[in-house]
Structure 1
Amino acid sequence: MKKVIYNILVATLVVAGFNGCTDNFEETNTNPRVLTEDFLVENPSVLGQAFAQSQYTSLNGLHWRFQISQNLFSDLWCQYYATTAVNFPSDRYTQVGRWADLAWSSFYGQAAPQIKLVEDLSEQAGEDALNAVAKIWRVHGYHRMTDYWGPVIYSSYGNVDFEQANITVPYDSQQDIYNDFFTTLDEAVSVLKANTSAAIFPSDDRVYGGDAAKWLRFANSLRLRLAMRIRYADPAKAQAEAEKAVADGVIESISDEAQVAVDGQNRNPLTTITNWGEFRMSAAMESVLKGYDDPRLPTYFSPAVSGDSDGDSNPYEGLLNGQTQVALGVSQNDLNSDVATRFLNDARGGSNPPLVVLRASEVAFLRAEGALVGWNMGGTEQDFYEEGIRLSMQENAAEGDVDAYIASTATPVPYAPGTDPLTDIPVAYDAGGSLERRLEQIITQKWLALYPNGWEAWAELRRTGYPRQYARSASDNPDVGIADVVRRMVFVSGEFTTNGPEVEKAIGLLSGADKNNTKVWWDKK
């Protein structure tokens, strides 16, 4: 009897506890480290259950996991939000160790075992289409992790012999990980092309309801995202992979975009953490959204409780990032804008929206950037830029004249009297401008369209330098100044304790010291 053994206790598989499709998961998974082929034959639904869980947990969907992994780091570092909590120093560029440890363990202790479980057992069961989708989801989950840290545990995950003493697990370089991503996507795409009509656990698939054809478009679109991510590190491979993705067919309509469905028990985490009153709209968001008279403003944020506080006759207010503890000692919550009603909890009128994975608007902006640098994206940079804006307006049900917005020469405004606008670029595409100016336009609108996906927005900020950022009020990090950008997360203390020799080797894979100002491999601009 063949056994599948995982290097991290699979007991964490059952933490999410989905309604309906996963109610019996903990009960059936009685041995957290061993699942047999016989068990799989007798309980085929375990694959679907783990599949559903992996989709939610790999996005850190549980509220506290989301907060410590995204909201307190990348959401602040890309300047979507600013912290209003006195004792939260991450907005002043401090990587709080216990939060980072939990962010790491949320993936490796919960999502990674589920992803591997589905991939391994679907292969054993001959479920080729599900195995292809599991590989795609592995790429998505791990690309988020390597984009945060650089080198991470990847190829050796799950391959450790528990009979060995002093177990350690090696890290892979980010370049090697990305190369494997593209190989893995090749394998998955090949299978899905031959199974486009397959129904892949439709009752459990929280993204596409088992639609193999849509998973194929997602795989190609994910390839395009990853190809653009390495544009400055490996231009030739980036172009080849991007053009391959477009030729195979990427997401073009809202009906095909990837979102993880939520429910009453497994909620969009924003609907919970907004109740804690620990963040508000950033000054950067205020400058851009107000300056552009952007129809998405009321779909992203709510008017400040105190109303107009800066004399511009507009009640939407943003807070400069990096406020000191003294400044935060006077409550900033009523003075600044919370998230829009749809992101609030039910009692406050919220709608519990799905967790966005990859939107049609993002794909359009990716194609705009590719066309900007001469890649064959199937259209012109300006057409894709304008299409990205249109799609984002539709995705957010924004009310307004989209054509007028696209043609607007309006520019960002000061977020408060005596301050400067974030930038001077208009919405209207400057076809005669420099390549860098046009790139800034594309990425600034992409930043707006990605909201509230700070994980992805922070990666794009590091990769391109856009959108421009306001210098923070203060930084507590000696390696990152107020006008600088955190380039990566440092390795977590728990790994130094349990996997120290391999972490030391991983540091040798970096371009510098294990610090927040050391760039990851693809950060080459």
Structure 2
Amino acid sequence: MKKIVLFITFISLAISSCTDDITGLNELKKEATSTKPEYLFTNAQKNLADQMVSTSVNYNVFRLFAQHWTETTYPDESQYNITTRSIPDNHFTVLYRDVLRDLKESKTILSAEVYVGTTAEKAAKELVRKNKLAVIDILTAYTYSILVDTFGNVPYTQALDLENHPQPVYDDAKTIYKDLISRLTSDVSNLSSSAESFGSADLVYGGDVVKWKKFANTLRLRLAVNIYDAEPTYGKAQVEAAVTAGVIMNASDNANFKYLSTQPNTNPLYVDLVASGRHDFVPANTLVNKMNTLADPRREKYFTLASNGTYKGGTYGTGNSYSSNSHVSATIEDPTLPGTLLDYTEVEFLLAEAVEKGATISGTAESHYNAGITASMQNWGVAAADITTYLARTDVAYTTATGTYKQKIGEQAWIALYNRGFEAWTSYRRLDFPVLAAPAGAYNGLTSVPVRYSYPAKEQTLNTANVTAAITAIGGNNLTTKLFWDKF
């Protein structure tokens, strides 16, 4: 009888607890339902840095496109097959979902914060908020610039708004560029060096507002140099304005994301090259042969010696023996190697190019060219005497090296931007140097190096009309379809 009474009591309690409202079943009782803007900002920074520095063939093949590295057992990506592994989809998704969406949410939460205290205390907090919002926007602009420079036209004005625009339009790439430059200009004016920003939540600059100003101006310089050939008058004005406002002019201001010594917070290269136990990559003969010709002192910093005692690169675009070729150096395999978003080396080569294009800024093309090479070598720990010797070579010195300014700057920038695959690829696309050839077995019979990613397959399926319009607008969805700024 006791069991029956207990059973009836249990049923009664169960029935009495029932309700027609079942919405609570979707609530996550054991997981956080809110967060802080700082956490979202940090997460966005890490996802962005990881995507830009990774060498996983599922996410980032820019070192391969730049022919700095090639592959061993599986050369598909060196042969420009980027669809089997859905590489464009993954790049697109990480930047929109894991970077831009987190930055947008960080901005939303930050904007909604209500401050209490005295008038002076609230004013101080508002100034910090204003700085944080500007930094968020700067990083947002950087991310969109990567998307445009990868695909061409991309979602922008309707992006990140699933409720109102689940199928966003693809905006004109040049229009996006100009808006990004405008945003960066405003962001710099909104930053106050008398107040803090994200502090320790900022894993690039530790909340240093002055350095974020230089970052924004440097990104503006990069965009201006890119757009220069498409709109010379506008590009010239923006280059000069960015330089006047103050760009990165020494290595201490480099935008380096700080990694830790243990997973999952190591540089992704450590995961791909060391922790994985795999040997999928070797330096490409394209780069190694060029550096051998120049007796470049960075070789020992970039690569190991091959088993035959020389610096030997794997044949680009084919299968290669890992054991018989040079390998990437221990420096690159260090789990704490910083992930670079912008640096002084890149700035000097951009300035050299800008001078040659006609921009009125201090210094000559030669002085900036020399400074770019020097900055790269110093960054990699090359001795001062070796730098002097290298700059004096007749095939390196700006006045005697072969070719036009595009060849001189293009070849040296390509070498200096080693391990920064996206930037090296962009420099190549803009200057058309060094001369890179597609491998004989290139995917779909390609006869030239890709100059963009094709649009993600998922986007073509789920957002068909807008992707189709974008393809028509840019002139095709091929790897060889040039971006608006790639005029020559």
Which bin holds the TM-score, normalised by the shorter protein?
Answer: 0.7 to 0.9
Q: Alpha-carbon deviations, 1:345-384, whole Å to 9, x = none?
A: xxxxx35211011111111111111112221121111111
CA contact (8 A) 2:351 2:368 kept: yes
Distance 2:347 2:99 in 1: 25
CA contact (8 A) 1:91 1:322 kept: yes
Larger helix proportion of the pair = 2
How far off is 1:474 after superposition? 2.3
| Compared CA separation, residues 430 and 320, structure 1 to 2 (3 A) | farther
| Corresponding position: 1:207 with 2:204 | yes
How far off is 1:85 after superposition? 2.4
| Compared CA separation, residues 124 and 188, structure 1 to 2 (3 A) | farther
Higher mean alpha-carbon deviation, 380-389 vs 395-404, is at 395-404
Q: Which runs of 5+ in 1 are unaligned?
A: 1-25, 31-38, 309-314, 345-349, 410-425
CA contact (8 A) 1:224 1:246 kept: yes
1:81-480 pair list within 5 angstroms: 81-86=69-74, 88-97=75-84, 98-125=86-113, 126=126, 127-161=129-163, 167-192=166-191, 195-263=192-260, 264=262, 265-275=264-274, 276-304=278-306, 306-308=307-309, 315-323=310-318, 328=319, 332-344=321-333, 350=334, 352-399=336-383, 400-409=385-394, 426-430=395-399, 437-478=404-445, 480=446
Distance 1:85 1:118 in 2: 42
CA contact (8 A) 2:204 2:258 kept: yes
- For the residue of structure 1 that corresponds to 2:49, the secondary structure is coil
Distance 2:187 2:412 in 1: 31
Paired residues, number: 438
Distance 1:59 1:270 in 2: 11
Asked which structure has the greater CA Rg, the reply is 2
Q: Which residue of 1 aligns with 2:484?
A: 521
For residue 514 of structure 1, what is the amino acid of its counterpart?
A: N
- For the residue of structure 2 that corresponds to 1:69, the secondary structure is coil
| Compared CA separation, residues 460 and 64, structure 1 to 2 (3 A) | closer
Q: Which residue of 2 aligns with 1:22?
A: none
For residue 505 of structure 1, what is the amino acid of its counterpart?
A: A
CA contact (8 A) 1:58 1:112 kept: no
Aligned mate of 2:465, from 487, 501, 513: 501
Distance 1:360 1:384 in 2: 11
Higher mean alpha-carbon deviation, 111-120 vs 221-230, is at 111-120
Distance 1:62 1:152 in 2: 18
Distance 1:145 1:477 in 2: 24
For residue 295 of structure 1, what is the amino acid of its counterpart?
A: P
Q: Which residue of 2 aligns with 1:6?
A: none
Identity rate of aligned residues, in percent?
30
How far off is 1:213 after superposition? 0.4
How far off is 1:27 after superposition? 4.6
Distance 1:179 1:113 in 2: 22
For residue 68 of structure 1, what is the amino acid of its counterpart?
A: N
| Compared CA separation, residues 507 and 514, structure 1 to 2 (3 A) | same
Distance 2:50 2:487 in 1: 28
